[in-house]
Chains A and B, each alone.
Chain A
Amino acid sequence: MPTTTVDINSIPNVRRIENFPKDEMQAHAMELTHSVYPHEEIYGSYCTLEEYIDCPPEDVFRYLADVYTLEEWTYSLRDFEATETPGEVVSFDKIGGKTRIYSKAVAHEGPMTVDFHCAWDQGDKLWMIYLMRVVPAELVLNKRGSVVLWTNCRHPYYDKNPYPEKGPADRKVWVGDMWPFFYAGHHVEMQNLKHILEYRHANGLPINPREVRA
């Protein structure tokens, strides 16, 4: 039976200054530090990107937390409508022709996280999850504005569509086929987010026009 006093330094692959001296740590760090990294190694299983946005963090958070703003800053999500499930919306992902995409935003105001739970073709299991976090740039970069972190994990469904019968019959492309372009696609969308919000903030315009209409 495991004891509560297990020596964590004896656990394989745990490296702490007590069991892995500084010299060895430095050598290990050099071994791990390459000049260049293959794309697959960096973006193969996870796709993380980050950007600075010159717009107050509370505004960026509130904007992202409104799932309908995906219509503005994403490359191809359009024509949003509510579904019968509260908080869940449906739109077209035009990158997949007539593909329907179901989305909801799960937002937490304290840590300013906004997780988009999405899926192509069906709204029962929202397995495509976009994890975003807004960080006050004041804290991390000592300047005004926001830092936005964004991670996707390569869920196994990206490699194999579990509901092929639910998509348009003539659609050849599957969302996971584009995983090698996720960094590029998300980079473009992050730039959209940055430039839309910076423009509105710099010009004193409403950050989220939907809030004005409401």
Chain B
Amino acid sequence: MKPMSLVGAAGYLPETIVENGFFEAEGAARGTGMFKGSKTRHHVAKGETATDMIERAATRLATKLGLSLPKDVDILLANVTCLDMPFTGVGASAAKRLGIKSPFVIDVHNSGCVSFVYMMAIARGLMASTGAKTALVCNVQNAAGRVFRHEDNRKRAQSAVPGDGCGVGYLVANDECPVRSIVTHCYPDYADDMRVLSDDGHSWWEPRSTALHIDFTEERVASIVSRGNTLVPNVVKEACAAAEIKTRDIGTLVTNQPSHIFLRNWREALELPKEAHVESFEEHGNLFGAALPINIERALASGRVTKGSHLVLGGFSHAGDYAASAVVHWQPG
């Protein structure tokens, strides 16, 4: 397969910062239990669109990498937690805003928290089978301000965990920072374990009197936790094996960040020191799919991703319906 490189990432975080005390659930306010480790998170402003967020992050990325987005993007891939418009998706709207005229503008609605890696796999496939040479991969998480901030939801224990943000990454068909392996899995058995519900019993498309919220059925919480504990270390090990490196050769690990407990458990399972795992749960909460590109930018800025080291990405989505991992051999010229 033609080589593909991940050459950079940039993030955007909405202006509004929300502290634990905003939430009414006991525990959230005190930052204990499941909320342990989270202090702040960002919330999108009313009226701020997913397209706005992509524009902000992509503009930062273009400045960093010296790109002209209209010329330098052959593929635009986007995953958005809470779409601006049902039916249409965000892709075309983002392309319009960024002046991108590519035949490959794709909304990737599945694979949520690990969709960055999933989109890398899609970009690599497109590059291999078409003349496309560059890809802009966009992740928007905007459910914190749009859904979890709602007054019906503020009392829910789950509402303090999400935080909003947008992250974008740039892929190029060359061997500058080659992606040595990408492994993706879909586990259909786990597809229906996370649901978006309204207390009045209506579906999201029906007129409703109560806010939407996420439901991980109580009887499945323990099994979802145990799934998450194993899915991520396993897929990371698989990607390392495919890249012919040992897990102890992971220089920097970047994952999605559902909770401090998953972060701890993944590190322990991979026997990595805390500093090798770059995350931002304390400040940003659960960034869903945007965690990967936002934390990649953080890792690159920290200087710990040294020349020739391996940057390993991994995560799982929803209640375990997708898991993916990729190994990037960092070789800045």
Contact = CB atoms under 8 A, between A and B. Distances in A.
B261 interface: yes
A149 B36 CA distance: 37
Contact of B229 (A26, A29, A35): A35
Contacts of B259: 30
A31 B229 CA distance: 12
Nearest to A31: B261
Contact of A33 (B33, B226, B266, B269): B226
Given A23-B33, A26-B34, A34 B225 contact: no
A30 B27 contact: no
B237 to A, nearest CB: 12
B222 interface: yes
Given A24-B33, A35-B229, A29 B222 contact: yes
Interface in A136-154: none
B157 interface: yes
Given A26-B221, A27-B27, A34 B229 contact: yes
Interface string B230-256: 100100000000000000000000000
Interface residues of A, number: 12
Interface string A1-37: 0000000000000000000000110111111011110
B110 to A, nearest CB: 25
B32 interface: yes
**What's the dominant secondary structure at chain A's contact region?**
helix
B283 to A, nearest CB: 21
Contacts of B264: 34
B268 A23 contact: no
A24 B35 CA distance: 11
A30 B261 contact: yes
Nearest to B34: A27
A34 B266 CA distance: 9
B59 to A, nearest CB: 39
B93 interface: no
Contacts of A24: 27, 32-33
A170 B221 CA distance: 57
A34 B269 CA distance: 9
Contacts of B26: 23
Given A23-B26, A24-B27, 18 more contacts: A23-B27, A23-B157, A26-B221, A27-B33, A27-B34, A27-B35, A30-B33, A30-B259, A30-B261, A31-B36, A33-B265, A34-B229, A34-B264, A35-B229, A35-B230, A35-B265, A35-B268, A36-B265
Interface of B: 25-27, 32-36, 157, 221-222, 225-226, 229-230, 233, 259, 261, 264-266, 268-269
